[in-house]
Amino acid sequence: MTHEKQQYNIFNVIHDRRSIRKFIDKEIPKDVIDQILTAGFRAPFAYQITSVVYTTDKDKMKQLKRMGIYPSTQLFMVFFFDFNRMNKIVQARKYEYDFDDSLLLWIGLQDVALVSENVTLAADALGLGSVLLGGAPLMVEQIAEVFNLPAKVFPVVGLCLGYPDPDHRMEVRPRFPLKYTAFEDKYKELTDEELKECMQSMDEGYITQGYYIKQNAKIPLAKGKDTIDMDKYSWCEHISRKISQGKWSEKTLLDILRQNGFNLK
């Protein structure tokens, strides 16, 4: 496919993108994957700390599923902080690696986020769809085994890609209106009334789309009787239940990073 300007309007691609969770069984040509990744790595970078491992291998997909990672697609990618390559570059230049890893992680996170965002947009522009999988850092051991990772190559986020199933086309999801997220000259604390409107704008949008009903996704309450029916259950309730759950896993992400060789005092 050629990159003719009239074919892709970046604003159309951005505004039409939505996460896709159901894909048809259609092979993704290698040159399409290469185009998407090449566009991904055109993102701005601070340290070029990103690496990607991708697979279309059915056995690897099965292996991932057995381990609790559900690619459910033809093409699965994982985006990594690659401190291994960085370390080698430093050594090749005859320096000793001595850095505050917390800073490098922070910078790296931004590098990886920009690459993965470019990848999602490039994929959409070529008629594919995608959904990110945020649990990747907590599955580092499994991902390391499947993808043969050396030390200090750490998963940030997974991405399922494929051709969208037209029978399961999701709608474009709402966002907070700009007046609650973008402020000119100084930060603005929202009044109670504004916060209510801000929350309503998301909740009404999700309820109109029947989003959580279609997804059959409701986070159970840790305690007490759940009095919110599915037709009233919406984004603010969902995110609040997530954020009030305490730890996601036995180990915190900091514990996991330290175990993986990062110097975080």
For ligand FMN, the binding residues (CB under 6 A) are 18-19, 21, 131-135, 157, 173
Cβ proximity to ligand FMN: between 89 and 253 the closer is: 253
- Cβ contact 49:81 at 8 Å: yes
Six-digit token string for 55: 């697979």
For the CB of residue 37, give the shortest distance to ligand FMN in the complex, in Å.
19
Q: How far is CA 156 from CA 5, 37, 39, 49, 128, in A?
A: 32, 16, 19, 11, 22
For the CB of residue 133, give the shortest distance to ligand FMN in the complex, in Å.
4
For the CB of residue 132, give the shortest distance to ligand FMN in the complex, in Å.
4
Round to whole Å and give the CA distance between 76 and 72. Answer: 9
For the CB of residue 197, give the shortest distance to ligand FMN in the complex, in Å.
20
For the CB of residue 14, give the shortest distance to ligand FMN in the complex, in Å.
10
Cβ proximity to ligand FMN: between 152 and 238 the closer is: 238
Ramachandran area for residue 152 (φ above 0: left; ψ -120 to 50: alpha; else beta): left
Cβ proximity to ligand FMN: between 29 and 68 the closer is: 68
Residue 229: HSE in the Cβ half-sphere, 13 Å Cα cutoff: 1
Cβ proximity to ligand FMN: between 235 and 262 the closer is: 235
Round to whole Å and give the CA distance between 75 and 130. Answer: 9
Cβ proximity to ligand FMN: between 34 and 171 the closer is: 171
Helix, strand, coil % in the chain, rounded to nearest 5:
45, 10, 40
For the CB of residue 134, give the shortest distance to ligand FMN in the complex, in Å.
3
- Cβ contact 75:54 at 8 Å: yes
Residue 56: HSE in the Cβ half-sphere, 13 Å Cα cutoff: 12
Round to whole Å and give the CA distance between 156 and 109. Answer: 8
Cβ proximity to ligand FMN: between 174 and 261 the closer is: 174
For the CB of residue 136, give the shortest distance to ligand FMN in the complex, in Å.
8
Cβ proximity to ligand FMN: between 65 and 188 the closer is: 65
Q: Considering only CA atoms, which of 41, 216, 249 is closest in space to residue 138? A: 249
| Minimal CB distance residue for ligand FMN | 134
